Structure 1
Amino acid sequence: MTALWFLLVLALGSGLLWWVLQRSKARELARKEAELAPVRQLVFEDVTALGVELQDLDLDLAGRQLTPGENSDYQRALDAYEAAKKAGDAITSPDQVKHVTEILEDGRYAMACVRARAAGEPLPVRRPPCFFDPRHGLSVEDVAYAPPGGAIRDVPACALDAERVKVGAEPDIRKVMVGSQRVPYWQGGRAYQPYAAGYFGAFGPMDWMFMGLLFGGGFDGLGEGIGAIGEGIGEGIGSIGDGIGGMFDGVGDMFDGFDF
């Protein structure tokens, strides 16, 4: 009889442990999806923007016989758009966003080359995109900029944003939703780091130093994001521990009075 009780309690305990672990797993999946959804939407908007720019370029080139160089760069831009769409549809984690924005950056540079060739101008120097909104295309210069409460740093800017910053006006900043607030994408938290890394990570000395600029110091969304994630993980582990502790307390109570 004692052995039967023991097997019954063991089965109940195993079932409870399985339920606790499944519940924790479901919460983690929900958290990851909630983190990914706005980043996926951001990338979708960037891909769509590139498609609109390609349509505008197509209209500008209508009726023109493309040179081999123009045709090659134009096809490269079209291929980048298709590849970005496919990669964007396949995103299952924020880390995969980096690959999409790398493709978008390459596509925009190819478009800039087409326009330069068509205008009889030298090919543009490959600079990073505009820091304030990568959809603005290639930056033309670095400007000194300080976010609210942050230190002044030199950041790459498109012509219009560079002009705005120089006269003390607000640049056209790409903003994202964090909770109920719209904040600059560099304050969005760790999920947005791959987004920025794809656009800016390949430009030599700026590499991870620039990522530090985006997500450290005055641009500090990452620290808060990691803190919140740490708290969530701690709460989840605590819940599992409470559940397991309660399970063994129950087992002890049921076997009080039995002799083995």
Structure 2
Amino acid sequence: MGQLIGILVIIAVVFVVVRVTKRRAALQTQQRLAIAMEPVKKLTFEDITALGEQLQNLDLDLTGRVLDEGARADYQRALDAYENAKQAAEVMAKPDDVGNVTSIVEDGRYAIACVQARVNNQPLPPRRPACFFDPRHGISVADVQWPMPDGQMRDVPACALDRERVMAGAAPDSRYVMRGSQRMPYWQDRNMGPYARGYFGNFGPMEWMFAAWFLPDILGGVGMLAEGIGAGLGDLAGGIGDGLGDIAGGIGDLFDF
């Protein structure tokens, strides 16, 4: 009878140790993810603020103008995108959420461009991706050659001013982020992959161009996952070992008794 009780105790304690260790590993992974997402979320909130400023400037441009049905629809679409982006940003919790927000921002910027074209009696702009060097620059006007993180020269979308700079051999007006103490263009930070996918991932044939750009993010995510799993398994093994050691000692005491 004593042996049966001891075995049941071992099973129960191992079960508890496994559950507790799994929870600890999941918490550690969530904490790592939250830390990695902070700069990405900051960038996304800045883009939403920029969209709001663009809407304010649009309001000034529209003062005293009569909008036709198309302009009113596009203007409402831009307003809705701004509100939706703010709401979605407040609940960002995982990388895919960031891409959803920047996709909404991209749609809002295109709607603003459509309003501007309509009120100035110009053709609607083609649906092109945002400027690669800084999506806040708005819709790109052409592609330019630029070295990507994989070392290859790629055609990337550029706004009019950045296209002019690159063609003249000057540096584009790139968006920079901080990674630790290092300042770098946002596309060199592997954690910015979800942010970028929201702007560029919906343009079908362009996706393969950015595969090398997104690869470091994917590998970084796998590395983070592997690190979390490794840490969790290490804690699990240590926890089980400590638990079994305590149980063995307890069972020994039980049989001595």
TM-score (norm 2): 0.87
Q: How much is the aligned-residue C-alpha RMSD, in angstroms?
A: 2.6
8 Å CA contact retained: 2:144, 2:163: yes
* Aligned: 1:233 with 2:229: yes
> Which string of whole-angstrom CA distances, capped at 9 and with x for unpartnered residues, describes residues 40-72 of structure 1?
222111111100000011011111121222212
Residues 82-231 of structure 1: matches in 2 within 5 Å? 82-147=83-148, 150-189=151-190, 191-206=191-206, 208-216=207-215, 220-231=216-227
Offset at 1:83? 1.0
8 Å CA contact retained: 2:176, 2:184: yes
Q: Mark the CA change 1:149 to 1:104 in structure 2 (over 3 Å): closer, same or farther.
A: closer
8 Å CA contact retained: 2:25, 2:231: no
8 Å CA contact retained: 1:80, 1:107: yes
Query: Per the alignment, in what secondary structure is the counterpart of residue 35 of structure 2?
Result: helix
Q: Mark the CA change 1:111 to 1:100 in structure 2 (over 3 Å): closer, same or farther.
A: same
Percent identity, aligned pairs only, is: 51
Partners of 1:147 and 1:170 lie apart in 2 by 15
Aligned residues: 254
Offset at 1:108? 0.6
Query: Per the alignment, in what secondary structure is the counterpart of residue 74 of structure 2?
Result: helix
Offset at 1:119? 1.6
Offset at 1:171? 1.4
> Which string of whole-angstrom CA distances, capped at 9 and with x for unpartnered residues, describes residues 22-56 of structure 1?
32232122122212222222211111110000001
Q: Which runs of 5+ in 1 are unaligned?
A: none
Offset at 1:228? 4.5
* Aligned: 1:50 with 2:55: no
Partners of 1:33 and 1:202 lie apart in 2 by 26
Query: Per the alignment, in what secondary structure is the counterpart of residue 135 of structure 1?
Result: helix
Offset at 1:144? 0.4
Match of 1:65 in 2: 66
Partners of 2:99 and 2:10 lie apart in 1 by 49
Letter in structure 1 aligned against 2:200:
F
Partners of 2:146 and 2:114 lie apart in 1 by 28
TM-score (norm 1): 0.86
Match of 1:27 in 2: 28
- Mean Cα displacement is larger for which, 163-172 or 244-253? 244-253
Match of 2:241 in 1: 245
Q: Which runs of 5+ in 2 are unaligned?
A: none
Partners of 1:114 and 1:172 lie apart in 2 by 26
Offset at 1:127? 0.7
Partners of 1:237 and 1:124 lie apart in 2 by 54
> Which string of whole-angstrom CA distances, capped at 9 and with x for unpartnered residues, describes residues 72-111 of structure 1?
2111111111111111112221111222111111111111
Offset at 1:4? 9.9
